[in-house]
Amino acid sequence: MNILISCGGTAGHINPAIAIADLIRRNRSDASILFVGTPDGMENRLVCQAGYRIAHIPARGFTRSFSPKNLSAAYYAAVSPFLAKKLLKKEAAQLVIGTGGYACYPTVLAATRMSLPSFLHESNAFPGLAVRKLATKVNCVMLNDPSAATYLPTGTRTAVVGNPVRSSFASGERAQARAALGIPPHAIYILAFGGSRGADSINRTIISLLPELTRKDQLWLTLGCGQTNYNSMQPYFENLPHRFRLEAYLDRMALEMQAADLAICRSGAMTLTELARAALPAILIPFPYAAANHQYHNAVSYAKNGAAIVCQESELNTEVLLRHITEFTASEPLRRQMQNAARKHDDPDTDEKILHLLFDSGKNN
Degrees, nearest 5: CA angle 328-222-228: 130
pLDDT at residue 276, rounded to an integer? 95
- AA identity, residue 264: I
Which is it for the CA torsion 126, 130, 133, 134, positive or negative? negative
Are the CB atoms for 60 and 76 separated by under 8 Å? Answer: yes
E strand or H helix that includes residue 121: strand 118-122
How many CB atoms sit inside 10 A of residue 19's CB? Answer: 27
3-state secondary structure of 268: coil
Going from the C-alpha of 184 to that of each of 159, 178, 335, the distances in angstroms are: 43, 7, 17
Q: What's the CA gap between 263 and 335, in Å, rounded?
A: 12
pLDDT at residue 294, rounded to an integer? 86
Strands 53-56, 262-265: pairing is: unpaired
Average confidence (pLDDT) per 10 residues, the chain, 365 residues: 91 91 95 94 90 88 60 72 95 96 92 97 90 96 93 96 88 87 96 85 96 94 94 94 94 94 95 94 94 88 94 95 96 96 93 94 55
As a 3-state breakdown, the chain gives helix, strand, coil percent values, each rounded to 5, of 50, 15, 35
Q: What's the CA gap between 284 and 272, in Å, rounded?
A: 9
How many CB atoms sit inside 10 A of residue 353's CB? Answer: 16
Are the CB atoms for 103 and 8 separated by under 8 Å? Answer: yes
Strands 244-247, 53-56: pairing is: unpaired
Going from the C-alpha of 108 to that of each of 28, 36, 93, 116, the distances in angstroms are: 22, 10, 11, 9
pLDDT at residue 365, rounded to an integer? 47
pTM: 0.85
- AA identity, residue 184: P
Which is it for the CA torsion 234, 235, 238, 240, positive or negative? negative
Residues forming a β-bridge with 222: 191, 245
